[in-house]
Amino acid sequence: MSERDCYGLPLTGAGADAARGYDHYVREFLSYGAALRALFGVADANPGAPLLNAHAAALHMAFEGAEGWTLAAPYLARMRQTMSAGSERERLFCTAVEAWSQLDFTSALAALDELTVRWPADLCAIKWGQYHAFNLGDSPALLRLGRRAAIAHENGQYVHGMTAFALEQNHQLEAAEQEGLRAVEISIDDAWAHHAVAHVMETQGRPREGARWLDHCAHTWEKKGVFIRDHNWWHAALFRLSLGRYDEALEIFDTRLWGEWPEFPQEQIGAASMLWRLELRGGDVGARWAPVVEQARARVGEHLFPFHDLHYLYALARAGADGEAEKFLTSMQHKANAAPGDAGLVWKEIAVPTGAALIDFTKGRRGEAAAGLGPLLRELHKIGGSHAQRHIFVETFEACATDTADASTIAH
């Protein structure tokens, strides 16, 4: 039994209802919709469909917390049992998800890269490839995949937004803005394109335009998933910080950035990042750190992504509990020793020393913090996150460096 998806690609082990359910998931995924969870029911009803179960596992792991891997387990088991019956394209996607389940994100990206060279019609696989490229700090792959999307989907919904963000992360700012605006002409609700254009305006120092742009787009986010709503509002708050409107940034924090889904790692790191920035700029955040720190404590020992861990560690260090951040750093070192290949080097040579510098910073050891952070700034793209997100490390370095002019020279 095999149906075809909305791109004409086969779905092994799926009937017509399952194919319609998968197509709905694809639209929700590409548009950052709020109804992604419907895929789990589709996969549960089709245990013999390897691709459906692989995507269900991927969705759970994209939660980016340990519980995501736990919830992915039954879907991974079905995928493994049935993937041999799938088409070559489906088997490649399953291979990527298997590598992902083993925390081998580099191999996951490689499988998706191969898949989308051969089947560029699979826009969903391209989007997942960009997800891994972003988390690995591989901006050339991010753009390569974005350009590939246009091969089969030029002027399709949500395609130009994918390319726009990739262009921005590769410093092609004018082209990125043009692509982002084109995306919104095609689909006004392309929240990822809204995000890409905001990145351009942030990078070019256009906070007034950026704030107006996101305010103009925000009405389309109410029907989106938590991640993009939180993250685009995070950018809106960031523009307020640049304008010195700290009260407005705090209002956005209270109403938009924290409390929708506190257990969600992306909400946790977004909240930590915003409070961190506010305090660096002299803002008073009151007691807002306390619930964020409690969530960070729940992440001790996971060590899935170095970018996330550095935010958890900072929250713990900022809380000041005796030895808590230091224990977290020791656990990161164990992760660095155990992780294989390039991933292990990123943990060992970048994440762990950055974490040590952050502890120094919160303890008032500003000279040690500056000495630790300075040499790492040009390598921090390897931990993942965007330019705008990683700029917090530059701001921290500049706050503690004894010579701000020298700090700016090194950082930029």
Q: What total number of domains does the chain contain?
A: 2
16 lies in which domain range?
A: 1-136
Residue 24 lies in a domain: yes
Residue 326 lies in a domain: yes
What is the reported pLDDT for 408? 45
Cα angle 38, 39, 45; round to 5: 100
Distance in angstroms between the alpha carbons of the first and the last residue of the chain = 56
Residue 97 lies in a domain: yes
Closest CA to 176 of 188, 187, 192: 192
Residue 285 lies in a domain: no
85: amino acid identity, one letter? A
What is the reported pLDDT for 401? 74
What is the reported pLDDT for 354? 98
| Whether the Cβ atoms of residue 358 and residue 372 lie closer than 8 Å to each other | no
Residue 127 lies in a domain: yes
Burial-class residue 234 by CB neighbours within 10 Å (0-12, 13-18, 19+). Answer: buried
Closest CA to 307 of 375, 384, 363, 232: 384
Residue 360 lies in a domain: yes
Question: Domain end: 112, 136, 160, which one?
Answer: 136
What is the reported pLDDT for 411? 43
How far is Cα 173 from Cα 192, in angstroms, rounded to an integer? 15
What is the reported pLDDT for 404? 41
Query: Helices (DSSP H) in 298-386: which residue ranges?
Result: 306-319, 324-338, 341-346, 352-362, 366-373
| Whether the Cβ atoms of residue 396 and residue 358 lie closer than 8 Å to each other | yes
Q: SS3 of 394, please? A: helix
CA distances from 331 to 47, 101, 162, 358 (A): 38, 21, 35, 15
How far is Cα 176 from Cα 339, in angstroms, rounded to an integer? 35
CA distances from 168 to 55, 177, 180, 195 (A): 28, 8, 10, 10
Residues 6+ apart with CB under 8 A from 167: 143, 146, 173, 175, 176, 179, 196
- Per-residue pLDDT of the chain (412 residues), as tens digits, is 579 999 999 999 999 999 999 999 999 999 999 999 999 999 999 999 999 999 999 999 999 999 999 999 999 999 999 999 999 999 999 999 999 999 999 999 999 999 999 999 999 999 999 999 999 999 999 999 999 998 899 999 999 999 999 999 999 999 999 999 999 999 999 999 999 999 999 999 999 999 999 999 999 999 999 999 999 999 999 999 999 999 999 999 999 999 999 999 999 999 999 999 999 999 999 999 999 999 999 999 999 999 999 999 999 999 988 899 999 999 999 999 999 999 999 999 999 999 999 999 999 999 999 999 999 999 999 999 999 999 999 999 999 875 444 444 444 3
| CATH number of the structural domain spanning residue 87 | 1.25.40
Residue 276 lies in a domain: no
Flag whether the pTM goes above 0.85: yes
What is the reported pLDDT for 395? 97
Question: Domain end: 70, 101, 136, which one?
Answer: 136
Residue 294 lies in a domain: no
Closest CA to 150 of 107, 198, 183: 183
Query: Helices (DSSP H) in 170-225: which residue ranges?
Result: 173-186, 191-203, 207-217
How far is Cα 177 from Cα 203, in angstroms, rounded to an integer? 11
Question: Domain end: 81, 112, 136, which one?
Answer: 136
